[in-house]
Chains A and B, each alone.
Chain A
Amino acid sequence: MSAPFLWIIFPIGMGALLLLVGRERAVSVLGGLTTGALSLLALLIPIDTALLLGTASFKLQGTLSVLGRSFTLLPAHGLLLAILFGLAALWFFGAESLGLSRRLIPLSMMILGLLVASIAVQPFIFAALLIEIASLLAVPMLLTPNNKPGRGLVRFVIYQTLAMPFILFAGWLLTSIETSPGDVALTNAATSMLGIGFALLLAFFPLNVWIPMLFDEAPPYLAGFLMWLLPLVTTLFAMGFLDKYSFLRGSEQLLTALRFSGILMILASGLWSTFERHLGRLMGYAVIAETGFLLIGLSLANADGVQAVFMQMIPRGVVFAVWAYALTIIAAHADSLRFYDIQGALRVVPLASMAVIAAGLSAAGLPLLADFPARLILLQELATKSPTLLAAVMLGLLGMLVGVVRTVSAMAAAPAEAAWEAHEETTQRIWLGAGILALFVLGVLPQIINPLLKNLPALFSRLGG
């Protein structure tokens, strides 16, 4: 048995099998249990280490060769896999109470497997292809049955597809650089190609317009899952480049560009959030800002930056899950997610409304909530670079806060005689209550996730060390 088989091929195969299952509940239980079990296995079984089971010994091989390429999972990947599959299990279990299991789970399991493959593949340039396949698999998931694809979905496919040749071309140039490292023109060309590729993949400003559009068109829970996972894995892919090539790590211009792009994304998200009148799109802007924070972490190119990127992983998953879950419930009780249509939502779906508010405040970096600890580290690091950059990020966060305050205002606006009558189902209330609680626990006691994160920087030893 090899680790790539367990965490790449098995989920892809299981996802394909689940496409044949017709019952929502069965899909949810099977998908949730599978990913949950895979998460536990990743936590318990060390990769490439011999284990003694009584008299027998067992070793989970870290490498699987396919057609001359290899998929390699290192021992340090174990915790990363545990986090990814664990959070995916939460998304999958939650999907059942929203009636979205069949749309989300089968394809998402395949996407998850492919994205894990993109982390493990050698030569790692093939990751671009795997990410592209994962993106294409997301299309049927996001497409509303019997409807034409929306403009957001089309843009998503275009930008993700446009990114691939740039990354592949950059990879080819990087191979040449390995043979002639002193060629400045070549390194500049490779850096630019990579820059364009990742700008498209990670949806730098203004290439990110499709994200809010997607949240406007697709069910927020489906869009939320994709936007939790895809930018995160893409960031890890980008970290791989920085870790491998010292000239990229040492390129002040590239790091500055990353930092500026991150800040621009946060600032633009804040500005757009200030004026947005659609709850789904507001979440889209928060997704963009979150990616901006990942880029700032990346741009630090040091141990603190790597730590900050990993620190965002779990809160990001929980915040987006809670937010998207609550939005889907609100959408089910309103004509649309426009402010005009969700007036008084606080009285109709109070827990879902509170969850949206709490998740929004968390994304805006309010103390007590899940995102704050990682935000604080990044802001402190940024303050050492430049107070102006710090001010720009704080302005972005302020804009996001304004967006949340306007959300509260819209949700609370109801005629005085409107009754308080919660319409969420019991299961939904349990999920929402647990989600809100998790946001606070992660904000107040962030050290509880430290054991999961402490060895992750070893994946990028040159960057994080």
Chain B
Amino acid sequence: MFILLPALLLLITAAALATLQVFQPAFRYAWLIASAGALLAWLSVWLWLPVMPSAFSADAYLGGARFLADSISWPYALSLTTLALAVIITSVVRPNFPNLFSWAGTFTLSGLGLLAVLANGPITLAFAWAALDLSELAAQLRPAGALRSTERTVIGFGARLLSVLLLLWAAIYGKTFSFETSTAQSGLLFIIAAALRLGVLPAQISSAPESSMRGGFSASLRLVSAAASLILLARVPSASADLPLAPFLLLITAATGLYAAFLWMRAPDEISGRPFWIIALASLAVAASLRGNPLGSLAWGCALLLAGGALFLASVHNNILARGLALVGAWGLSALPFSVSAIGWESGTPAHILTWLSLPALVLAQALLTLGFIRHALRPANPSALEAQPIWSRNLYPIGIGFLLTTLILLGLIGWDGARALGSLPSALTAGAASAALYWLTPRLRWLNPSSARAISTPTLNAPLDTLQQFFGGIYRGTGRLIDIVSAALEGEGGILWTLLFLVLFLALLTPETR
């Protein structure tokens, strides 16, 4: 039960904040309550360290909901609570401060995200995913503006529901009710479910949910959801990568990662590029699992949450802070020794031609991601100066960003068994060199320059995916027409005769011959 304490603290704080907003909207100490709740949750995650691994089973439900705090769930739990804390601390510079409902939403999502990363079985994880999906849907539809934005929200919701179904299928088909007993086949289905949720397989780039919201809630919405999916990649057995399908999936993942990283680098600002950041880094995480290195997915996942969190929360500009953010973020993404992503390039599978083919694309994706990160960190979309803020905000705000960056560095050193790794130097150095080369080429090659917001979804860039969508759309419409014809026949005047004919045929097939 102790391991559920951070999640409970976050959920209780969320309830308290929502209650305050309803009954005492002018309450002056709401920010302090929110900060205290987030800080306690953050500290309680640290308290797991001496007792790990520690499990908890809620036997009341069927086989029992299973939770496990171990060296895999801990980095994600720390990242999520750090993110929640940073959201509250950095909120002091936002124009809508204080925003109790938004904080309550952040805490609710983070609490559910914590339950997801603690899940020690697919059924428990499916519960957490479902809770997150419904919360996200409610949060996104409430302020939905343009029709296209609503459509994207609904498409994203549909994809996530499909992933829940896939996860359940993997669990039931593989009779897997704990990750420790997962089979290789179930593991591959887990990877597909997580990749589907993260928008990697199939690439959901043209329908990636976008959000123009800069606030902490919007960042939490995206990142917590990603963390809840990424945890599954770290729980798959390495043997899943040996299955024949894995190299093909790896190739598709690499292509998606490269494309998304390219879009991220060209995005006009970090907020409009956020979906591509998530898809690109998630692709690296999926690729790590598909290469038999589930721990590598943990490394990329933490980089996604912490570096991304710092960048998306950095809403006011300060030169020193921006440089620090660019430097530490790039370090986190570098895969250099002792960085959080150092183990990202290790591989646990025998070489396969498709694996080799995908590797350059993945390394290039990493280079583009790093370059994009540096660019967005140094050139924020909303350049209001930190100096214009009140003194207390000016002092607090960097602490929030600093929390995330410090955690990013710390996880590379103490995050999990095998941290402080040297990693795969050739890959890391190649990616670094590619980043430097691209940085040099950017002013010289027009197509590497940041595009306007509209140009991100140009027909040229999305053409292959649109063609695929049109193909499936055609099948969908064709099947729909067929269904309409059958419905018209069955529901029309002659429907009774049709149905009775079907019944007789059915019985004729099933009734044994009695001669």
> Which of A66-74, A133-141, A226-234, A405-413 has 4 or more CB atoms under 8 Å from chain B?
A405-413
B511's contact among A188, A367, A409, A413, by CB below 8 Å, is which? A188
Contact assessment for A405 and B514 in the assembled complex, using a CB-CB cutoff below 8 Å:
no
Chain B residue with the shortest CB-CB distance to A186: B514
**Alpha-carbon distance between A229 and B165 when the two chains are bound, in angstroms:** 29
Contact assessment for B491 and A209 in the assembled complex, using a CB-CB cutoff below 8 Å:
yes
Residues in A with CB closer than 8 Å to B129 are 367
Task: Answer yes or no: A185 CB below 8 A from chain B CBs.
Answer: yes
**Alpha-carbon distance between A241 and B514 when the two chains are bound, in angstroms:** 23
**Alpha-carbon distance between A409 and B126 when the two chains are bound, in angstroms:** 23
Quick one: given A271-B483, A401-B165, are A376 and B510 in contact (CB under 8 Å)?
no
Residues in A with CB closer than 8 Å to B157 are 405, 408
Quick one: given A209-B499, A275-B484, A383-B175, are A409 and B151 in contact (CB under 8 Å)?
yes
Quick one: given A184-B514, A209-B499, A275-B480, are A447 and B61 in contact (CB under 8 Å)?
yes
Task: Answer yes or no: B442 CB below 8 A from chain A CBs.
Answer: no
**Alpha-carbon distance between A307 and B510 when the two chains are bound, in angstroms:** 27
Interface string of A179-202 (1 = CB under 8 A from B): 000001100100110011001000
Chain A residue with the shortest CB-CB distance to B138: A354
Contact assessment for B158 and A257 in the assembled complex, using a CB-CB cutoff below 8 Å:
no
**Alpha-carbon distance between A370 and B164 when the two chains are bound, in angstroms:** 16
A376's contact among B62, B146, B164, B175, by CB below 8 Å, is which? B62
**Alpha-carbon distance between A445 and B59 when the two chains are bound, in angstroms:** 11
**Alpha-carbon distance between A257 and B61 when the two chains are bound, in angstroms:** 32
A387's contact among B151, B158, B173, by CB below 8 Å, is which? B173
> Shortest distance in angstroms between A413's beta carbon and chain B's nearest beta carbon?
6
Task: Answer yes or no: B445 CB below 8 A from chain A CBs.
Answer: no
**Alpha-carbon distance between A402 and B487 when the two chains are bound, in angstroms:** 19
Interface string of B122-139 (1 = CB under 8 A from A): 010011011100100110
Residues in B with CB closer than 8 Å to A367 are 123, 126-127, 129-130, 164, 168
Chain B residue with the shortest CB-CB distance to A188: B514
Chain A residue with the shortest CB-CB distance to B59: A447
Contact assessment for B145 and A416 in the assembled complex, using a CB-CB cutoff below 8 Å:
yes
Residues in A with CB closer than 8 Å to B510 are 195, 253, 256-257
> Shortest distance in angstroms between A184's beta carbon and chain B's nearest beta carbon?
6
> Shortest distance in angstroms between A322's beta carbon and chain B's nearest beta carbon?
15
* Chain A 347-394 interface residues, beta-carbon cutoff 8 Å to B: 354, 361, 365-369, 373, 376, 379-380, 383, 387, 390-391, 394
> Shortest distance in angstroms between B263's beta carbon and chain A's nearest beta carbon?
25
Task: Answer yes or no: A129 CB below 8 A from chain B CBs.
Answer: no
Q: Which residue of A346, A367, A383, A398 has the most chain B CB atoms within 10 A of its CB atom?
A: A367
Task: Answer yes or no: A155 CB below 8 A from chain B CBs.
Answer: yes
> Shortest distance in angstroms between A196's beta carbon and chain B's nearest beta carbon?
7
Residues in B with CB closer than 8 Å to A195 are 507, 510
> Shortest distance in angstroms between B502's beta carbon and chain A's nearest beta carbon?
5
* Chain A 399-432 interface residues, beta-carbon cutoff 8 Å to B: 401-402, 404-405, 408-409, 412-413, 415-416, 420
B61's contact among A413, A420, A445, by CB below 8 Å, is which? A445
Q: Which residue of A155, A275, A391 has the most chain B CB atoms within 10 A of its CB atom?
A: A275
Contact assessment for B483 and A272 in the assembled complex, using a CB-CB cutoff below 8 Å:
yes
Residues in B with CB closer than 8 Å to A369 are 130
Residues in B with CB closer than 8 Å to A401 are 158, 161-162, 165
**Alpha-carbon distance between A21 and B107 when the two chains are bound, in angstroms:** 53
Contact assessment for B61 and A213 in the assembled complex, using a CB-CB cutoff below 8 Å:
no
Task: Answer yes or no: B357 CB below 8 A from chain A CBs.
Answer: no
Task: Answer yes or no: A446 CB below 8 A from chain B CBs.
Answer: yes
Contact assessment for B172 and A445 in the assembled complex, using a CB-CB cutoff below 8 Å:
no
Chain B residue with the shortest CB-CB distance to A379: B172
Task: Answer yes or no: B169 CB below 8 A from chain A CBs.
Answer: yes
A275's contact among B123, B127, B479, B511, by CB below 8 Å, is which? B479
Residues in A with CB closer than 8 Å to B506 are 199, 204, 261
Task: Answer yes or no: B437 CB below 8 A from chain A CBs.
Answer: no
* Chain B 156-184 interface residues, beta-carbon cutoff 8 Å to A: 157-158, 161-162, 164-165, 168-169, 172-173, 175
Quick one: given A416-B145, A445-B60, A445-B61, are A192 and B169 in contact (CB under 8 Å)?
no
Chain A residue with the shortest CB-CB distance to B495: A209
Residues in A with CB closer than 8 Å to B60 are 445, 447
Residues in B with CB closer than 8 Å to A390 are 169, 172-173
Residues in A with CB closer than 8 Å to B130 are 366-369
Task: Answer yes or no: B490 CB below 8 A from chain A CBs.
Answer: yes
> Shortest distance in angstroms between B212's beta carbon and chain A's nearest beta carbon?
12
Task: Answer yes or no: A19 CB below 8 A from chain B CBs.
Answer: no
Task: Answer yes or no: A238 CB below 8 A from chain B CBs.
Answer: no
Quick one: given A158-B496, A380-B172, A405-B157, are A412 and B490 in contact (CB under 8 Å)?
no
Residues in B with CB closer than 8 Å to A253 are 510-512
Task: Answer yes or no: B320 CB below 8 A from chain A CBs.
Answer: no
Task: Answer yes or no: A207 CB below 8 A from chain B CBs.
Answer: yes
Task: Answer yes or no: B147 CB below 8 A from chain A CBs.
Answer: yes
**Alpha-carbon distance between A367 and B510 when the two chains are bound, in angstroms:** 35
Task: Answer yes or no: A454 CB below 8 A from chain B CBs.
Answer: no
Chain A residue with the shortest CB-CB distance to B492: A151
**Alpha-carbon distance between A397 and B127 when the two chains are bound, in angstroms:** 17
Residues in A with CB closer than 8 Å to B162 are 398, 401
> Shortest distance in angstroms between A201's beta carbon and chain B's nearest beta carbon?
12
Chain B residue with the shortest CB-CB distance to A353: B141
Besides the contacts A185-B514, A408-B154, what 19 more A-B pairs have beta carbons closer than 8 Å?
A: A155-B495, A158-B496, A196-B507, A205-B502, A354-B138, A367-B126, A376-B168, A376-B172, A383-B173, A397-B165, A398-B165, A401-B162, A405-B157, A409-B150, A412-B150, A412-B153, A416-B144, A445-B60, A447-B61
Binding site for B on A (CB under 8 A): 151, 155, 158, 184-185, 188, 191-192, 195-196, 199, 204-207, 209, 213, 253, 256-257, 261, 271-272, 274-275, 346, 354, 361, 365-369, 373, 376, 379-380, 383, 387, 390-391, 394, 397-398, 401-402, 404-405, 408-409, 412-413, 415-416, 420, 444-447
Binding site for A on B (CB under 8 A): 60-62, 123, 126-127, 129-131, 134, 137-138, 141-142, 144-147, 150-151, 153-154, 157-158, 161-162, 164-165, 168-169, 172-173, 175, 479-480, 483-484, 487, 490-491, 495-496, 498-499, 502-503, 506-507, 510-512, 514
A–B pairs, 15, beta carbons within 8 Å: A206-B503, A207-B502, A253-B512, A272-B487, A274-B479, A275-B484, A366-B130, A373-B62, A380-B172, A394-B169, A409-B154, A412-B150, A412-B154, A444-B61, A444-B127
